[in-house]
């Protein structure tokens, strides 16, 4: 049987990535109006900066969990999502090369990170292949098929929307909930692929333990996205139906995901084996 452990290489990757995520979150979420001076490119609308910063906050939570003394199957479904996200941002960088602050330290770090990270994450998936034995934890819960299908369908919608934003930014800019440029449209699209890539794995894996810590990262992102929508509500184009739909969808997703997380944890505790009385 596979050892179900996170290999040292994977933890080193997490250690390398976390500091960059922390700095990016700080700059984009707490100082969204200063991207021209501090970031790799100028993000005109603070809401777009905070949206990307929220994704980085989720990444911090995810990679911190990778560093914990845990098992590979608890984090494995997060890495394909990170691979797609990093690859899309790498492509977006070269598609919009002229928009970046060439020579700025943030630009140098950004380009280095998004050239290297896809290969580092691909390496994680390769070196850890075969580490998951496919068995549930002792305190685990088997997600019902109907729940997994619904969440996978939601994930597929997010993935399709994200890819459409990325590959057809001009068509979506005119109807999006807040003003976007082609570059920020592609960045928002890349962010939307993250939950999509995670949820699709539920079609093949029913173990709650395989998604619990990845869902912690998604919940962290959702909390900060909803907060950003409240803080920067004036950035939204309320005359467009997409604004109310997006805000409502994010609030509903936060409540639903939090409820789902609590319910699954409760079921896992309820079904856990109890010690025999002495």
Enter the pTM of the model. 0.94
For residue 144, give the nearest of 243, 62, 48, 267 by alpha carbon: 267
CA 180, CA 112: separation in Å to the nearest integer? 25
Give the dihedral of Cα atoms 73, 74, 78, 79; nearest 10 deg: -50
Question: What does the DSSP 8-state code read for residue 175?
Answer: T
What's the per-residue H, E or C state across 63-113? HHHHHCCCCHHHCCCHHHHHHHHHHHHHHHHHHCHHHECCCCHHHHHHHHH
**Euclidean distance between CA atoms 128 and 14, whole angstroms:** 14
Tens of pLDDT, residues 53-90: 999 999 999 999 999 877 899 999 999 999 999 999 99
- Token pair recorded at residue 94: 């070269």
Rounded-to-integer distance, Cα 1 and Cα 21, Å: 35
| Residue 276 predicted with pLDDT over 50 | no
Dist CA 13 CA 35 (whole Å): 27
Residue 273 has pLDDT above 60, yes or no: no
Rounded Cα distance between 180 and 122, Å, is 30
Query: Per residue in 230-270, pLDDT tens?
Result: 999 999 999 999 999 999 999 999 999 999 999 999 998 88
What is the structure's pLDDT at 1?
A: 57
Q: Average of pLDDT values for 147-155? A: 94
Q: What percent of the chain has pLDDT over 70?
A: 97
* Full DSSP string of 228-257: HHHHTGGGS-TTSHHHHHHHHHHHHHHHHH
Q: What is the pLDDT of residues 23-40, one digit of tens each?
A: 999 999 999 999 999 999
Q: Can you count the helices (H) and strands (E) in the chain?
A: 10, 0
pLDDT in tens, 108-117: 999 999 999 9
- Please give the Cα distance from 13 to 20 (Å, whole number): 12
| Average pLDDT value over all residues in the chain | 94
Whole-number pLDDT of residue 30: 97
Mean pLDDT across 170-197:
96
Q: Are 102 and 93 in contact (CB under 8 A)?
A: no
């Amino acid at each position: 049987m596979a050892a179900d452990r996170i290999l040292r290489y994977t933890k080193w990757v997490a250690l390398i990535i976390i500091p960059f995520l922390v700095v990016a979150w700080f700059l984009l979420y707490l100082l969204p109006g200063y991207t021209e001076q501090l970031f790799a490119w100028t993000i005109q609308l603070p809401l777009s900066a905070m949206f990307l910063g929220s994704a980085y906050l989720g990444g911090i939570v995810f990679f911190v969990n990778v560093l914990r003394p845990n098992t590979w199957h608890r984090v494995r479904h997060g890495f394909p999502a990170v691979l797609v996200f990093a690859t899309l941002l790498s492509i977006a960088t070269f598609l919009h090369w002229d928009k970046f602050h060439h020579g700025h330290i943030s630009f140098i770090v950004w380009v280095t990170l998004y050239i290297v990270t896809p290969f580092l994450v691909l390496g994680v998936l390769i070196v850890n292949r075969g580490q998951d034995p496919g068995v549930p934890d002792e305190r685990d819960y088997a997600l019902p098929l109907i729940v997994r299908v619904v969440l996978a369908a939601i994930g597929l919608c997010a993935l399709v929307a994200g890819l459409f934003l990325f590959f057809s930014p001009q068509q979506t800019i005119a109807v999006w909930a807040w003003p976007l440029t082609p570059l920020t449209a592609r960045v928002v699209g890349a962010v939307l692929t993250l939950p999509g890539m995670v949820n699709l794995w539920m079609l093949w894996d029913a173990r709650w333990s395989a998604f619990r810590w990845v869902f912690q990262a998604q919940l962290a992102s959702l909390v900060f996205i909803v907060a950003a929508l409240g803080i920067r509500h004036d950035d939204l184009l309320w005359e467009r139906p997409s604004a109310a739909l997006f805000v409502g969808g994010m609030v509903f997703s936060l409540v639903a995901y939090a409820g789902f997380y609590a319910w699954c944890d409760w079921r896992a505790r309820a079904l856990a084996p109890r010690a025999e009385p002495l």
